[in-house]
Amino acid sequence: MPSVLIVDDEPNIRRMVGALLSAEGYDVRDAADGVTGLALAEANEPDVALVDLMMPGDLDGLALLQKLRERRPDMPVVMMSGRAALTDAVRATKLGAFTFLEKPLTPEGVLLALASAFELRQARRAAAALREDLGISGEMVGESPVMHDVRALIARVGPTDARVLITGESGTGKELVAAALHLASPRRDRPFIRVNCAAIPRDLVESEMFGHERGAFTGATDRRIGRFELAHTGTLFLDEVGDLGAEAQAKLLRAIEAREIERVGGGKPIKIDVRILAATNKDLGRAVADGSFREDLFFRLNVIPIQLPPLRDRPGDLPALVRHFSARHRTRTGRPLVQWHDDALGALSSYRWPGNVRELANVVERLAILHAGSVVGRAEVLQVLPTVAADPFSVPAGENAVRAGETLPILPLSDALDAYERRLISAALAQSDGNVAEAARRLQTDRPNLYRRMRRLGLASAGE
Ligand SMILES: Nc1ncnc2c1ncn2[C@@H]1O[C@H](COP(=O)(O)OP(=O)(O)OP(=O)(O)O)[C@@H](O)[C@H]1O
């Protein structure tokens, strides 16, 4: 539940705004003076603060704003004032106020300001999470020549406002590159807003990107701030940009060229300062050739291209990524590290990784859970790689034969492992003409152990 702190010496305002925000689902605290307000802000860590400018006591509105900016820099502060002198509004903005509301307040004005401030808070949180994600290594992990080039490019292009088009299959790290570019830029403390262009229904793209005024179309019951406005002074990351329809492409091009947007039903142009990064797993060059993507927009977005090859084409990245994800698992869970045998890395690098780095992260995490504190070898790896577990005998022996599978149905782990073990033992028995000693040899185990497992799995009767 979003939480808000109201600081105002007028009891009426505290009561009325408090009731309005509680009804909207906010968790509301209030204070009648600056000193109490500051104490509550530190104790309860609200998401957003709404602060009156003119207050009696040791901390007036501006002094409180200043303290809040020092102590809770991630919390947007909305200022309000009855006698909104322009100079005060300017000072408040200079001190870092998110926005300024003039009294008498209107419910729409308060709700809109708070909704936008809350979105900014979320964006800052996401940026902090991004930083934490990158923080373990400080950069994108991988020792392949491609990864060295990508890091060098991020260092060079990050600090500029150049638009970058990042291409690569799903899970290759496109969003991470966008985040790294943002964090390498002077905009790093401003919002990083991602829009998944493929996930927005076509008729809502415009309002999602540019916002809308109340009543702009059927269903627009409230005013809404779009992604461009939210990203103002920060970075807008257009993910899956190749999925935008023709109309949205035209609007996007216009916004980029004019550096301003109009809310749907708004009319008034709003100046926007955003850096645009885009990503796609489509071949945009081909989309331009077949007419489904505008060439002029392609050139606008593709000032600096960064291409991320699939993980299977850069096996040199595997060891560092495996170490990175194991260390991340240890940091997050506090459980002991797993050790990686060389043949485990061999098995991992012969798999095709259709889900790329994202899939590798999941596999490493699964192995880290199953084998905390011990050594992971080839056998353990093969047990968790999808196709092998789903249908071990459709794949001829040999590392290069380990192939990507369809989506694996998720079963309880012990059932899945039992099913796998049962099929493996049955196949070894079949290939040994039912000779248990021979099957045990093929499975590189001994007879008593194989019998014990066969009995447990119902492949042999208790007497055998
Ligand atoms: N080089 C890398 N170093 C560390 N982590 C990485 C690297 N590449 C990818 N990852 C991690 O892999 C996961 C998938 O990456 P990301 O979401 O950036 O991929 P994507 O290409 O944007 O995927 P999609 O197209 O599906 O959105 C993330 O958790 C990301 O942090």
Per-residue pLDDT tens digits for 76-87: 999 998 765 678
Mean pLDDT of the chain: 85
Same domain, 316 and 260: no
Q: Which of 151, 178, 146 is nearest to 164 (CA)?
A: 178
Q: Which of 248, 148, 152, 165 is nearest to 205 (CA)?
A: 248
Phi, psi (rounded to 5 degrees) for 445: -140, -175
Task: Give a yes or no: residue 392 inside a domain.
Answer: yes
Does the predicted TM-score (pTM) go above 0.95?
no
The ligand 1 atom nearest the CA atom of 141: 3
Same domain, 42 and 72: yes
Same domain, 200 and 302: yes
Q: How far is CA 142 from CA 17, 131, 179, 192, 323, in A?
A: 52, 18, 17, 24, 10
The total number of residues written for the chain in this structure: 464
Ligand 1: which of 134, 150, 175, 243 to mutate, most ligand atoms within 8 Å of CB? Answer: 175
Q: Is the CB of 116 under 6 A from ligand 1?
A: no
Distance 456 CA to ligand 1 centre (A): 41
Counting the structural domains of the chain, the total is 4
Q: Quickly state the pLDDT bin for 421 (edges 50, 70, 90).
A: confident
Q: What Rg do the C-alpha atoms of the chain give, in angstroms?
A: 29
Same domain, 272 and 334: no
Task: Give a yes or no: residue 129 inside a domain.
Answer: no
The DSSP annotation for 104-120 comes to SP-HHHHHHHHHHHHHH
Task: Give a yes or no: residue 71 inside a domain.
Answer: yes
Point out the domain boundary residue: 57, 90, 121.
Answer: 121
**Domain of 37: which CATH number?**
3.40.50.2300
Give, rounded to a whole angstrom, the gap between the first and last alpha carbons of the chain: 62
Residue 272 in contact with residue 210, Cβ under 8 Å?
no
Calpha distance 148→320 (Å, rounded): 13
Point out the domain boundary residue: 389, 410, 431.
Answer: 410
Q: Is the CB of 175 under 6 A from ligand 1?
A: yes
Burial of 327 from C-beta contacts in 10 A (0-12 / 13-18 / 19+)? middle
Same domain, 251 and 199: yes
Tokens of residue 47, six digits: 């998401």
Calpha distance 366→333 (Å, rounded): 13
Residue 67 in contact with residue 38, Cβ under 8 Å?
yes
Calpha distance 394→248 (Å, rounded): 46
Same domain, 9 and 49: yes
Please give the average per-residue pLDDT across 105-122, as a whole number: 89
Full domain range(s) for residue 65: 3-121
What is the tens place of the pLDDT at every residue in 336-352?
A: 888 999 899 988 988 88
What is the tens place of the pLDDT at every residue in 7-43?
A: 999 999 999 999 999 999 999 999 999 999 999 999 9
Q: Is the pLDDT of residue 442 over 90?
A: no
Q: What is the pLDDT of residue 411?
A: 65
Percent of the chain with pLDDT strictly greater than 90: 47
Residue 222 in contact with residue 240, Cβ under 8 Å?
no
Q: What is the pLDDT of residue 314?
A: 93
Tokens of residue 62, six digits: 């501006």
The DSSP secondary-structure symbol of 264 reads B
Sign, Cα dihedral of 410, 416, 420, 422: negative
**Domain of 375: which CATH number?**
1.10.8.60
Q: What angle do CA 452, 456, 460 make, to 5 degrees?
A: 75
Same domain, 79 and 143: no
Q: Is the CB of 171 under 6 A from ligand 1?
A: yes
Q: Is the CB of 174 under 6 A from ligand 1?
A: yes
280 bridge partner residues = 167
The DSSP secondary-structure symbol of 463 reads T
Please give the average per-residue pLDDT across 122-151, as a whole number: 75
Q: How far is CA 75 from CA 65, 194, 454, in A?
A: 11, 20, 61
Same domain, 181 and 46: no
Q: What is the pLDDT of residue 401?
A: 36
What is the tens place of the pLDDT at every residue in 158-202?
A: 999 999 999 999 999 999 999 899 989 999 878 888 899 988 888
Same domain, 463 and 406: no
* C-beta atoms surrounding 421 within 10 Å: 17
What is the tens place of the pLDDT at every residue in 200-232?
A: 888 888 889 998 887 767 666 677 788 998 898
| H helix and E strand count, the chain | 20, 16
* C-beta atoms surrounding 324 within 10 Å: 20
Helix (H, G, I), strand (E, B) or coil at 135: helix
The residue that leads in pLDDT, 224 or 147, is 147
Residue 106 in contact with residue 274, Cβ under 8 Å?
no
Helix (H, G, I), strand (E, B) or coil at 75: coil
Same domain, 387 and 422: no
Q: Is the CB of 354 under 6 A from ligand 1?
A: no
Same domain, 95 and 23: yes
Percent of the chain with pLDDT strictly greater than 70: 89
Q: Is the CB of 172 under 6 A from ligand 1?
A: yes
**Domain of 239: which CATH number?**
3.40.50.300
Beta-carbon-side half-sphere exposure of residue 424 (alpha carbons within 13 Å): 21
Calpha distance 236→178 (Å, rounded): 9
What is the tens place of the pLDDT at every residue in 231-279?
A: 988 999 999 999 999 999 999 999 999 999 988 887 788 899 999 999 9
Same domain, 287 and 181: yes
H-assigned helices in 290-412: 295-301, 318-333, 342-349, 356-370, 378-384, 386-390
Q: What is the pLDDT of residue 313?
A: 92
